[in-house]
Structure 1
């Protein structure tokens, strides 16, 4: 299998206001990628939530990036390194990125690629709400940050951004 070395997974519920920032950011990246008609070194994936099936999306990668909305993230976004850790989410239908990494390591009997989490502040998560202006502004800043990351797809470069 010949896969792009980076996978970027944005998750959240597009029907719940600012919870949509992950999928919306992926959508914007996809539109720009199509506009320049250029093959990329990354694969973009979006979903409502992380599930056990996503372990296959982590296979044969060099770097992993998860994007999610957060009530506690400081503006304009927080970027952190993830470590595999089995938390309470491993028994539910929705997993945290750390638990997904832990499951990957159990299933494939190897360490996961270096993984990072980009948390974008969210302020309104009610059903049917639109994306808030504040989260929309943070999303734009996060998109520019992602372009900085994918411009230099080396772990050392990503670590330098922490």
Structure 2
């Protein structure tokens, strides 16, 4: 199954580099059927990248995220952005639904917990540990890129905390 993976973040802002670092790791793997899209933030144009992919994954860093990461299914939802930039995954999915006049593919969010997002900062030690756990989990996801499998993985995370 083909999957499109969006990774967003700014490598110059400390732990906001988590998304780009996961993307770099995926690029080295060159997995067949995995289409990679990297940017500083999600924009309406990213809705076009969903076309032709029966599964989508959005990767980002978050401050209020449980450690080491959160993984959840998401869907289209209207939002009220101030501009056409910096959309949430749900807004990108809504744009797809609006322009294609059909539901978007099943979509999931992998949000890795970050601690420090200051300009010019490096990755925090906590983010390094969270990144390692996210790599293991992401590998499990992409070993079987199927929405039903990913939903089961969500259920497995509800059990004792995933530590890699």
**Length-normalised TM-score, structure 1:** 0.90
Deviates more, 1:15-24 or 1:85-94: 85-94
CA distance in 1 between partners of 2:82 and 2:102 (Å): 18
Q: Deviations over 1:85-110 (max 9, x none)?
A: 11222744111000000000001111
Query: Does structure 1 retain, via aligned residues, the 8 Å contact 2:44–2:84?
Result: no
Query: Does structure 2 retain, via aligned residues, the 8 Å contact 1:9–1:67?
Result: yes
Q: Quote how far apart the aligned CAs of 1:32 are.
A: 3.0
Matched residue, 2:130 = 138
Question: Among 83, 86, 101, which residue is 2:78 paired with?
Answer: 86
1:31 correspondence with 2:28: yes
Deviates more, 1:85-94 or 1:129-138: 85-94
- Structure 2: where are the runs of 5+ without partners? 155-164
Name the SS of the counterpart of 2:7 in structure 1: strand
Moved over 4 A (4+): none
Q: What is the aligned residue count?
A: 154
Matched residue, 1:36 = none
- Structure 1: where are the runs of 5+ without partners? 34-38
CA distance in 1 between partners of 2:29 and 2:147 (Å): 24
* 1:114-129 correspondence runs (5 A): 114-129=106-121
